[in-house]
């Protein structure tokens, strides 16, 4: 408790206690920092807590956070001002709103920072603004929908046993995985054959065909007889270089990381699952090493661009473009945020990072610097050989200027190595009409492959593509599906369990719109418009709730029917 004789101070309220030391150090004397430990007020566990006529909400203090409010009140005694510095997103805005309520702050000022550095904190304090009620309304609307779905739909699943749940983001995500598995179940493999010539000159070319526009691609023979005929014809004729083309192409760098692409890259390059990636990123953010790690924007601030250019100029000035590259986020991205990036050219020597944190930081650094480099220049050579009426094609790449590849040589987002763009092998020097003796002709029988299963990282990528959820909900949603035993994993491949398929079938029967990715994406878009002040949250809730109530009224019978072992549903 602070007495009147103590020097005046400003109280800064953050979310995580891990930020206290760093924020206190950077703000210096005259500031005291205290943490809410995340959300400390929410809807009650033992009742709905929502008046669906007026949309009045009942909030209670969380039993899991005892003493938080008394700690906040004690810390605020004697403060000349309380600055609300929770995370710079909707959830953070709502937490600040709750702090203002319990402390009785009539003119609360909001401090928003996306990196914990002295400059960023000072700027945020100097530019403190009133609470953004639109962001709070958007968070409340999201919480209401999540509560109504979870509180009113989940109990209907008790017919299938305990520990079942439905969710606004969770259920359509489950459906995405189930649909992929059904595509695999129904997939009919088709056999085909390919023919490859292995030349003594040291490269291989594959039998090819031309489309109507004269573009050549690898030929797939529908029958072994047709393939064997092409092999016999190619074996009987000399192989001559028929066409030889070299074109210089630009390979442009990718944007800096968003939450989703960081998770994909960490999975592919470091073998780290999305949940652990977010734990590491949270630690890096709290230690002041990276910017806020929950973002769907690829934008960089002018300060960030200047940082990248200074590092590149000092190390590899030839990689620096005249004008910095600019990246455009998706239409659904929240542009007020910034991409994930380092906060400084080097880490403060006093900052202790674990080996895993250093690995992730290195990945973020490399992507950040690569995004601000010149494109790589590649000489791409395509050769076409002719053996009678059989054609073969091969291509090869020669990197003539590294550009961004100095920092990143691979498509590090791809969690599936087969999806990565393959740089062609280097071709030997060839001339038109040159005869090419072959070592062997390889006739291979293959089959078309079903759609691949998702990994956790590519599932999050698909959720992002379909606009299901937001950066803060992507990984927790996938984790919940595993916790509920709706999904399982084998060698990184994610598949629905029989339990998960059954629940998806039941929910499709009772709440078809809830399971549609497009429906959830439209709701996300409306929440964004509420956050921007373009829609009224209570009007939107009423519009959503009316059809939901109708589904809820008939859902028990349809879900009970789906629970019948003889039921066969189309989901």
Give the residue numbers annotated as catalytic, written as ranges.
292
| CA 166 to chain CA mean position, Å | 22
For residue 178, give every residue at least 6 positions away whose Cβ sits within 8 Å of its Cβ, in sequence order, or none.
Answer: 496, 500, 501, 504, 571
Burial class of residue 398 in the structure, from the number of CB atoms within 10 Å of its CB (0-12 exposed, 13-18 middle, 19+ buried): middle
The answer to whether 255 touches 297, Cβ cutoff 8 Å, is: no
Distance from C-alpha of 23 to C-alpha of 28, rounded to nearest angstrom? 8
Report strand pairing: 438-447 vs 191-199.
antiparallel
Of 29, 433, 69, 419, nearest to 241 by C-alpha is 433
The answer to whether 32 touches 302, Cβ cutoff 8 Å, is: no
Distance from C-alpha of 284 to C-alpha of 281, rounded to nearest angstrom? 5
Distance from C-alpha of 392 to C-alpha of 238, rounded to nearest angstrom? 12
Q: In this structure, what is the dihedral angle of CA atoms 335, 538, 507, 481, given to the nearest 10 degrees?
A: 40
| Phi, psi (deg, nearest 5) at residue 344 | -155, 165
Distance from C-alpha of 59 to C-alpha of 40, rounded to nearest angstrom? 10
Of 172, 173, 218, nearest to 197 by C-alpha is 218
Structure tokens at 47: 């009742």
Distance from C-alpha of 277 to C-alpha of 325, rounded to nearest angstrom? 27
- Dump strand ranges (E) for 318-418: 376-387, 390-401
As a three-state string, the secondary structure of 128-196 is: CEECCHHHHHHHHHHHHHHHHHHHHHHHHHHHHCCCCCCCCCHHHHHHHHHHHHHHHHCCCCCEEEEEE
The answer to whether 217 touches 209, Cβ cutoff 8 Å, is: yes
As a three-state string, the secondary structure of 216-238 is: EEECCECCHHHHHHHHHHHHHCC
Which residue's entry shows tokens 């698909």?
Answer: 462
Phi-psi region of 244 (alpha: psi -120 to 50; beta: other; left: phi over 0): beta
CA distances from 63 to 66, 177, 207, 400 (A): 6, 35, 69, 63
Residue 299 DSSP symbol: -
- Per the DSSP assignment, residues forming a β-bridge with 398 are 379
Which residue's entry shows tokens 């050989």?
Answer: 385
Which of helix, strand or coil describes residue 205?
strand
């Amino acid at each position: 408790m602070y007495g009147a004789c103590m020097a005046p101070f400003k109280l800064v309220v953050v979310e995580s206690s891990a930020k206290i030391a760093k924020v206190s150090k950077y703000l210096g004397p005259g500031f005291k920092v205290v943490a809410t430990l995340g959300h400390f007020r929410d809807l009650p566990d033992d009742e709905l807590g929502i008046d669906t006529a007026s949309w009045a909400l009942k909030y209670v203090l969380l039993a899991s956070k005892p003493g938080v409010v008394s700690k906040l009140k004690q810390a605020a005694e004697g403060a000349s001002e309380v600055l609300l510095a929770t995370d710079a997103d909707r959830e953070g805005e709502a937490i600040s709103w709750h702090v203002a309520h319990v402390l009785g702050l009539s003119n609360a000022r909001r401090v928003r920072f996306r990196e914990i550095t002295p400059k960023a904190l000072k700027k945020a304090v100097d530019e403190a603004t009133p609470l953004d009620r639109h962001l709070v309304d958007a968070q409340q609307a999201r919480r209401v929908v999540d509560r109504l779905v979870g509180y009113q739909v989940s109990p209907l699943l008790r017919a299938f046993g305990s520990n079942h749940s439905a969710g606004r983001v969770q259920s359509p995500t489950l459906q995405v995985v189930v649909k992929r598995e059904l595509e695999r179940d129904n997939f009919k493999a088709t056999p085909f054959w390919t023919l490859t010539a292995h030349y003594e000159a040291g490269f291989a070319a594959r039998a090819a065909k031309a489309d109507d526009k004269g573009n050549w691609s690898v030929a797939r023979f529908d029958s072994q007889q047709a393939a064997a005929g092409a092999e016999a014809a190619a074996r009987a004729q000399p192989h001559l270089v028929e066409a030889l083309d070299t074109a210089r192409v630009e390979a442009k760098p990718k944007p800096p990381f968003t939450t989703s692409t960081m998770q994909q890259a960490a999975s592919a390059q470091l073998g780290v699952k999305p949940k652990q990636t977010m734990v590491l990123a949270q630690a890096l953010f709290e230690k002041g090493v990276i910017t806020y790690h929950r973002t769907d924007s690829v934008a960089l601030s002018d300060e960030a661009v200047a940082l990248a250019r200074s590092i590149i100029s000092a190390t590899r000035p030839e990689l620096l473009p005249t004008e910095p590259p600019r990246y455009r986020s998706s239409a659904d991205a929240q542009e007020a945020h910034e991409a994930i990036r380092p906060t400084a050219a080097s880490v403060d020597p006093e900052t202790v990072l674990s080996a895993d944190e250093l690995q992730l930081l290195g990945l973020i650094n490399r992507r950040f610097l690569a995004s601000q480099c010149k494109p790589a220049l590649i000489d791409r050579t395509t050769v076409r050989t002719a053996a009678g009426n059989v054609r073969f094609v091969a291509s090869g790449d020669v990197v003539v200027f590294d550009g961004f590849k100095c920092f990143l040589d691979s498509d590090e987002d791809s969690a599936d190595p087969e999806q990565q763009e393959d740089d062609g092998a280097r071709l030997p020097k060839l001339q038109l009409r040159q005869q090419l003796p072959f070592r062997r002709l390889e006739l291979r029988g293959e089959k078309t492959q079903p759609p691949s299963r998702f990994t956790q990282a590519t599932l999050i990528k698909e959720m992002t593509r379909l606009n299901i959820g937001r950066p803060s909900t992507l990984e927790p949603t996938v984790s919940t599906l595993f916790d509920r035993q709706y999904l399982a994993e084998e060698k990184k491949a994610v598949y629905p369990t029989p339990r998960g398929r059954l629940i998806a079938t039941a929910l499709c029967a009772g709440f078809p719109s809830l399971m549609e990715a497009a429906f959830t994406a439209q709701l996300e878009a409306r929440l964004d418009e509420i956050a921007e002040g373009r829609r009224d949250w209570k009007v939107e809730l009423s519009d959503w709730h009316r059809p939901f109530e109708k589904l809820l009224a008939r859902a028990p019978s349809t879900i009970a029917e789906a629970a019948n072992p003889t039921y066969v549903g189309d989901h």
